[in-house]
A = this chain, B = another copy of it.
Amino acid sequence: MWLSINERDSRPIYLQIINQVKDQVRRGLLKPGDELPSVRELADSLQINMHTVRGAYLKLKDQGLIELHLGRRATIAGSRFPLKLEDAEAGLQLRLEEVFTDALLEGLSASDISRIVDRQIEQIKKTER
């Protein structure tokens, strides 16, 4: 488990933790059953407060990504998809609209966007195999 927080990142620390854990799960570096660092350990190594880590873990639990056990370390949850796929698709669409709008207003062209998107989707497909 290697996590880091970026002081210059404007997003709150707990969100950075959440996103990094999600990322590692997506990349397959963390698999169901794997243990996460204890709240205190991670807080120490990141030089942040225990409660900040705990807050991040709690959110991850509520999203079904990890399991918290009293007296034991948190573990990656078995993957289950509580959301209906159509809801997930609708959510994706809304978020993409916003991202693309910002990109266009920053001067990128549709083909710029298309190129960047395709590159990322290629990478995802590689990981899927």
Contacts and interface: CB of A to CB of B under 8 A. Distances in A.
A99 B110 contact: no
A106 B71 CA distance: 29
A89 B108 contact: yes
Contact of A116 (B12, B65, B70, B92): B92
Q: How many copies does the complex hold?
A: 4
A85 B69 CA distance: 27
A16 to B, nearest CB: 11
B26 A104 contact: yes
A107 B88 contact: yes
A43 interface: no
Given A26-B105, A83-B107, 8 more contacts: A22-B101, A26-B104, A91-B106, A93-B120, A100-B124, A104-B124, A110-B121, A114-B121
